[in-house]
Amino acid sequence: MYSITSISIGTPREVIYAENRKLKTSFKRKPVEEKIFLDLMGFDGDQVADPVNHGGRDKAVCGYPADHYSIWKEKLARDMPPASFGENLTIERLTEDQIHIGDIFKIGEAEVQCTQPRQPCHKLTKLLGFPKLASRIQVTGYCGYYFRVLKQGWLQAGMAVEPIHSDKENISVRDAHHLMYRDKTNYEAIEQLMAHPALSESWRHSFGKRLANRKA
């Protein structure tokens, strides 16, 4: 049903963008054709430049739907190969409305669990050169998602992404993203999401501050 279009990894390096400005990032990831090992912290050889906001157990792997690329190619008027959004896994047909917080998938020998939507940041706008791209992602919901690794193992591009657990709470990545950026005062839904044991700690913290401000 779902499959990996591409697996991509990268290491921190200095990238030049608008008017010779510099940015240190691992965003420019490159596809890996051979088998690659996935451990609890991510793919072998993959690193993040900003460990405060990226990486870690809850965000070990970043996934992005391959289905969105034809849309962005038209909107941005440029070629959009896999990993153009800096993701590790480009996945066919697994869009934000199809995947839920807590869903578990088997890919090769590994098992991964969805933990949160990917939050669009300023680097997307800077590196892709499209003004207000992060805001556009917030509106469209074409954000992608993060996984934690439950079982380590080898995998390869072209492998199936097999669902092995569908979360009973049925909170899609699209729903969670909508709560973060669009439906910000739906406190009942926010509390339900915060109670989910699979939700990443960073998102639990962000929503916790929002609830605290409401009650202050």
- Comparing 30 with 75, the larger pLDDT belongs to 30
> What is the structure's pLDDT at 19?
75
Give the confidence band of 216 by pLDDT, cuts at 50, 70, 90: low
> What is the structure's pLDDT at 131?
84
Q: Check pLDDT > 80 for residue 18.
A: no
pLDDT digits (tens, 9 = 90+) for 83-99: 999 999 999 999 999 99
Structure tokens at 48: 């993040």
Q: Domain 2-215, what fold?
A: M1 Pyruvate Kinase; Domain 3 (2.40.33)
Give the strands of the sheet with 42-43, arranged side by side.
42-43, 36-39, 153-155
> What is the structure's pLDDT at 179?
98
Quick one: which of 170, 32, 201, 48 has its CA closest to 108?
32
118 phi/psi in degrees, rounded to 5: -80, 135
CB 91 within 8 A of CB 64: yes
Q: Where are the domains of the chain?
A: 2-215
Structure tokens at 137: 């992602």
> What is the structure's pLDDT at 215?
65
CB 152 within 8 A of CB 39: yes
pLDDT digits (tens, 9 = 90+) for 151-199: 999 999 999 999 999 999 999 999 999 999 999 999 999 999 999 999 9
CB 166 within 8 A of CB 103: yes
pTM: 0.96
Quick one: what percent of the chain has pLDDT higher than 90?
Answer: 81
Alpha-carbon distance 64 to 90, whole Å? 5
Give the confidence band of 51 by pLDDT, cuts at 50, 70, 90: confident
Angle between helices 187-194 and 173-181 (to 10 degrees): 130
